[in-house]
Amino acid sequence: MHVTVGDPAPEIALPDQDGNQWRLSDHRGSPVVVYFYPKADTPGCTNQACDVRDHWADLAAHGAAVAGISPDPVERLARFASKHGLPHRLLADPERTVIEAYGAWGEKRRGGEVRLGVIRSSVVIDAEGRVAAALPGISPAEQSSAALAVLRDL
């Protein structure tokens, strides 16, 4: 990942599933969990988003804002959030500006084939806007548990 623990987190300013602008800087004073996923409503990405949904009470107990980022358009994110009852923001980054700034774009190997794509990963940002943890290559089912472990230590 391109982010380093202790460094200021790159700004995020992207539309959410409702078309509203979501900015990382608007969440200063609270921790933020940002996760990156390849494509809404595919099996692994659904597991990842639903893992956040299923751990929502624990994440909220730590005061954390949560945003999932993919290159999907806003309309697809809206359908995905509605279909699965997702309580958190999903952000559209079709130009991959934020995805690349966080180092969540790169080579992926699957079935002996190498291709470029979104690297499933998470970043925990502290209340001051600094990277508290970078979790590249995270398993969809382990994402919330890993983020919660970091949030407990903040």
Task: Supply the residues annotated as catalytic.
Answer: 45
Cα R_g (the chain), whole angstroms = 14
Residue among 16, 8, 6, 18 at smallest CA distance from 101: 8
Count of residues making up the chain: 154
> Sign of the C-alpha dihedral, residues 21, 22, 23, 27?
positive
HSE of 28, CA atoms in CB hemisphere, 13 A: 8
